[in-house]
Structure 1
Amino acid sequence: MNSLVSIIIPTYNRAHLIGETLDSLLAQTYTNWECIVVDDGSTDNTLSVLKKYKEKDKRFHYYKRPDVSRKGANACRNYGIEKSNGDYINFFDSDDIMVSNKIELKLKKIFETKTDYVISKTIDFHHPSSNEVFLSTSLNYNFKAYPLNHYNYICQLLNWLTPDALICSKLVKQISFNDKLSRGQEYNFYTKLTLLSENGCFLNKFLTKRRLHDVSIRNQFTQNEVDKHTVKLRVITLKEIYSKTPKNVKRWFVANIIKNITRVNMILKPNEELLLITDLYKFYGIKSVVYYLFSRSSKYIFGRNEFVRLRLKKSLK
């Protein structure tokens, strides 16, 4: 077991934190790795921090996101994929910490099970003013309840985070992160991965520590904004996989899109609603448009649309 593992880390103004992340790589019990850090245009001293680590260890590589690429972590990850040389790839974030045997355990699991990728678990941590470390879990992985397959993932019966997967690079290089997404990119990416291969396995261990910050990005959005983003995420993802995904997955996506957009009185601009209706028609024909319009009307007139929501999944066949 001497495979090269590429660890791809996008970063932006994390000079005060990325050192801890890189130190956790140096502490890995498995040593045949390369770390590719892609800078998204930092204005702090990230460059000087990385120079020190590159001088200390040649396994660290530092790149700046090309100007022609869209700004954001997803474009950085895609550029990191281009620059990677590993047999396996693990994405990571520039403020998180790896447990010291993370890579070793995951590689061992892949070779034992002869799978294309392995999924471990992440635990959240934060340092309050007392510098005491608090740990908590924020994700119900459901590894024991459901088998790993494409349908269970897209329905979110199974869920995991971006750094949890160690993946055969041959698979990773057939897909990419959608750089138009600022949130939900892991759902989009792993939907495409599980469609490409269901030959994965779970490692029921917490091997990543995710740093919690004082201000959560998620908490900055209203429920209406969250619902709109969910609809956008589902539409974008369905467009990418439509020609290859099974019919039951397409049916679930269309039902979920309609359900989310009519769950609350979501306000859409006329052009947004027209685009959505057009997409629904392309995805599932006139039936999906009729259900959408009926569900919207039911919500506005009666204040509820439970009947439509309950019947929708059975009807879209």
Structure 2
Amino acid sequence: MKPQVTIIMATYNRAHFIVETLHSIQQQTFQDWECFIIDDGGTDNTQEVIAPILEQDSRFQFLKRPDSYQKGLPGCRNFGLDKAQGDFIIFFDDDDIIHPDNLKTSLSVLLEEQVAFCHYQKKSFEQDKPEFKFEKCKILQKINVDNLYDVVTQQIGLASCTVLWDKKCFKTIRFKEELLYAEEWECYIRIISSGFEGVIISNTLYFNRKHPNSNTAEFYSNNPIRKKSKSDTILLVISNLKDKKIITNQFLRHFIQMAYDYKEFNLFASIITTLEISGFIKLKWQVFYVFFPVRLYLYSLKKKMFS
């Protein structure tokens, strides 16, 4: 019989972390799952160190990403989506720890609320193993196109591994394989802007390991490849919102403010071109963009004076 949940985990040279991650999956109180461990061309001994787990537990499958999928996280996840047997999909990273009630809690909420996805909380850790709390589930709010702005601005932070999805969300949607950062942000915005609704719950069910070799750490250390990917992702999000006719001045103001951090990629000019803005409206946004750093400085000055 097919499993109810498919776990998709891309891996690349994480032999030193992945065993602990897989053990936390085995300790799930909900047991009806399959887990695809998709190797992205790693060169360490990952397959060797997880061999005892693969032999012991047939729910795990170790797979090599085929060349028909691009190298990288999005390609691995798309391969996993195309192989998934479960009715529900969840993405886990190969260096993190999962709360024992992750699948049990998120799936029960998704089914009870009759929504397409359930977003839970995460907490970072470095060395010490996180402490699990078993709390009563509390629904904080719904997520749909009406509060998409909060998802775009990441006030609602739909991280790649903090959402359980109904498989129908991915019936026609896949990750953009050319992206090397923020690919889940772009993909999840496409899902929600297509009309799928979900809920946010209060429970912390995922623990992400902080270390310098993660994609996020590389982005915040100004890795040019990750930063260029984020710039490209912003344009894809804008194009999607434009096509769905839901982009507003509020969205545009936010993206133009973001463009200031991507000057080396001429993001502001690309936004104007993508949205086909011209004439007086174009001039207005050019003035806004030019004077944005001045406004930031005055705001910070005012904050210091009254703090």
- TM surpasses 0.5: yes
| 2:149 pairs with 1:154 | no
Aligned to 1:203: 201
| 2:213 pairs with 1:212 | no
CA contact (8 A) 1:195 1:245 kept: no
Q: 1:31 to 1:46 in 2, by over 3 A?
A: same
User: Number of aligned pairs?
Assistant: 284
Q: 1:246 to 1:88 in 2, by over 3 A?
A: same
Q: 1:95 to 1:226 in 2, by over 3 A?
A: closer
Aligned to 1:312: none
2:284 corresponds, among 271, 283, 291, to 291
Q: 1:194 to 1:68 in 2, by over 3 A?
A: same
| 2:278 pairs with 1:278 | no
1:304 corresponds, among 278, 294, 303, to 294
After superposition, give the CA deviation of every residue in 1:1-24 in whole Å (9 maximum; x if it has no partner).
Answer: x96100000110011111111111
What is the deviation of 1:252?
3.5
**In structure 1, what is the Cα distance between the partners aligned to 2:270 and 2:51?**
47
Aligned to 1:8: 8
What is the deviation of 1:63?
1.5
What is the deviation of 1:31?
0.9
**In structure 1, what is the Cα distance between the partners aligned to 2:161 and 2:185?**
12
CA contact (8 A) 2:3 2:34 kept: no
Q: 1:288 to 1:187 in 2, by over 3 A?
A: farther
What is the deviation of 1:189?
1.8
What is the deviation of 1:231?
4.3
Report the AA paired with residue 218 of structure 2.
I
SS of 1:233 mapped into structure 2: helix
Deviates more, 1:165-174 or 1:61-70: 61-70
**In structure 1, what is the Cα distance between the partners aligned to 2:294 and 2:197?**
41
| 2:264 pairs with 1:268 | yes
**In structure 2, what is the Cα distance between the partners aligned to 1:298 and 1:126?**
40
Mark the runs of 5 or more structure 1 residues left unpaired by the alignment: 136-142, 307-317
2:172 corresponds, among 171, 174, 177, to 174
What is the deviation of 1:64?
1.2
Aligned to 1:53: 53
Q: 1:15 to 1:32 in 2, by over 3 A?
A: same
Q: 1:227 to 1:96 in 2, by over 3 A?
A: closer
SS of 1:68 mapped into structure 2: coil
SS of 2:240 mapped into structure 1: helix
SS of 2:236 mapped into structure 1: helix
Mark the runs of 5 or more structure 2 residues left unpaired by the alignment: 132-138, 297-307
SS of 1:162 mapped into structure 2: coil
Aligned to 1:244: 244
- When the two chains are superposed, the root-mean-square deviation of aligned CA atoms in Å is 3.0
Aligned to 1:190: 188
Report the AA paired with residue 294 of structure 2.
R
What is the deviation of 1:205?
0.5
**In structure 2, what is the Cα distance between the partners aligned to 1:4 and 1:55?**
22
Q: 1:76 to 1:115 in 2, by over 3 A?
A: same
After superposition, give the CA deviation of every residue in 1:214-271 in whole Å (9 maximum; x if it has no partner).
Answer: 563243118x9998765433212222343225243xx334322222224x6x64367x
Q: 1:133 to 1:38 in 2, by over 3 A?
A: closer
**In structure 2, what is the Cα distance between the partners aligned to 1:49 and 1:225?**
30
CA contact (8 A) 1:96 1:210 kept: yes
Report the AA paired with residue 199 of structure 1.
E
Aligned to 2:93: 93
Q: 1:298 to 1:3 in 2, by over 3 A?
A: same
SS of 1:77 mapped into structure 2: helix
What is the deviation of 1:192?
1.2
| 2:111 pairs with 1:73 | no
After superposition, give the CA deviation of every residue in 1:119-171 in whole Å (9 maximum; x if it has no partner).
Answer: 111111111xxxx4478xxxxxxx74x64223232233322311111110011
CA contact (8 A) 1:231 1:257 kept: no
Tell me the TM-score normalized by structure 2: 0.81
Tell me the TM-score normalized by structure 1: 0.78
CA contact (8 A) 2:13 2:44 kept: yes
**In structure 2, what is the Cα distance between the partners aligned to 1:64 and 1:179?**
16
Q: 1:90 to 1:192 in 2, by over 3 A?
A: same
